[in-house]
Chain A
């Protein structure tokens, strides 16, 4: 079975500091995508960043970057210069290209301390 594990149910970080959210996944597939989604209190699901498994280079989007370790099946999200607006639930997700389903982890709630 394909699974996504987020081992940190909650995390806190001081404003302007850097925080890393962990994610591991389990698959026997070789062709897949990985995602981080943000869900603020508004409940809207927002795509933060994505990574194609065939790319060795880690994806970056402004203050957000990933550390993709394919052999270890690890996909962590680093948020630099944390801002109050980053407070949200963050979901790691995985999609195999064979059937387009996206499997989500259980989420990490991130608190930003002023």
Chain B
């Protein structure tokens, strides 16, 4: 099993550009989420989903969109990148009601 796969691992964007961070899991997990990690801030929840067709906002959702058309995939879209979105992004998944998350390896995004 591949677990949780995030692509790309690194990305540089110009202010105003849009892009999609990809996340896929092959464990049939119902729950998927996106976090951003900034120095001194820990991991902050952006958006999450408890199943296909269901998404909800986390702590810092502004500037990001998500959709969940399949159980396996949970892409994160940056609509118009801003320097404040420079961060490391993690996708994670789990079965609902169970244990901890399995994390992807992260995407380091720089917006210039």
Contacts and interface: CB of A to CB of B under 8 A. Distances in A.
A91 B48 CA distance: 20
Interface residues of A, number: 23
Interface residues of B, number: 24
Contacts of A102: 33, 45, 92, 100-101
Interface stretch (A12-20, A68-76, A77-85, A103-111): A103-111
Interface string A92-114: 01010101111111110000000
A106 B40 contact: yes
B61 interface: no
Among A37, A43, A91, A99, find the residue whose CB has the most chain B CB atoms closer than 10 A. Answer: A43
B96 interface: yes
A103 B48 CA distance: 12
B42 A104 contact: yes
A93 B44 CA distance: 11
A105 B35 CA distance: 13
Contact of B106 (A37, A43, A101, A106): A43
Contacts of A104: 35, 42-44
A33 interface: yes
Interface of B: 31, 33, 35, 40-45, 48, 50, 58, 88, 90, 92, 94, 96-97, 99-101, 103, 105-106
Interface of A: 4, 9, 33, 35, 37, 43-45, 47, 50, 91, 93, 95, 97, 99-107
6 contacts: A43-B88, A45-B92, A93-B100, A100-B31, A106-B40, A106-B41
